[in-house]
Amino acid sequence: MTIHREGFKILFITLLGWFVVNVGLFYLIPDWELLRGLIAVFTLIVFFLFLQFFRHPHRSTPRNENHIICPADGKVVVIEKVMETEFLKDERIQISIFMSPLNVHLNRFPVGGKVEYQKYHPGLYLVAWDPKSSTENERNTVVVRTNNNISVLFRQIAGKVARRIRWYCKEGDVAVQGEEFGFIKFGSRVDVFLPTTAEINVELGQKVKGGETLLATFQ
């Protein structure tokens, strides 16, 4: 496992800040060894939590043109039929994955093909499980048309804490199933909109892994 590039700057700043704090406390309260020790332990725990936020585990994706692979680590919180109004403008099955602060935060292409649409939307910062967050929060939408001529829309959604969405693809790019297309710092949610004929392979409350868990199968 490695550290994702999105974490390099913030981890360096955090480590430097904690170092300055602990050195300062050593000189300011030299006789309070217990307090200094507790603060040092606290800062160390926080730093390792930040390391968890930005970990980049290797995943081996079983690529298959008939499979939709999970784009993010987390828990399935929505499986329902909805009208997709931004680009596809038809009825779809929406599957939403909620990423907690302890999950891996990078996002992977659920299908392979060609990126036919990508658009970033500034917006609100409602909690990620609020149904309105899908259309009102800061978000980034990507649509990939597969080699089987099926369009799959997926959307990165910022939450109450996560306010830094990153994406690494644009219209016309080749999408490789399982490869990373973006990152959401400190967790949030990813929605996937599938054809209504797709066979769903996950259930509500299920924990899933990006790049590995089979979300659904094209029929």
Q: What share of the chain is helix, strand, coil (3-state, %, to 5)?
A: 20, 35, 40
- Scan for tokens 């994955």, then name that residue: 97
CA distance 141 to 164: 14
Q: Which residues are catalytic?
A: 188
Query: Crossing angle for the helix pair 33-53 and 8-28, nearest 10 degrees?
Result: 180
Q: Which tokens is 113 given? A: 């093909």
Task: Count CB atoms within 10 A of the CB of residue 184.
Answer: 29
Strands 188-194 and 90-99: antiparallel
For the chain, the straight-line distance linking the first and the last C-alpha, in angstroms and rounded, comes to 35
Say if residues 21 and 43 touch (Cβ distance below 8 Å).
yes
CA distance 98 to 168: 21
CA distance 214 to 67: 7
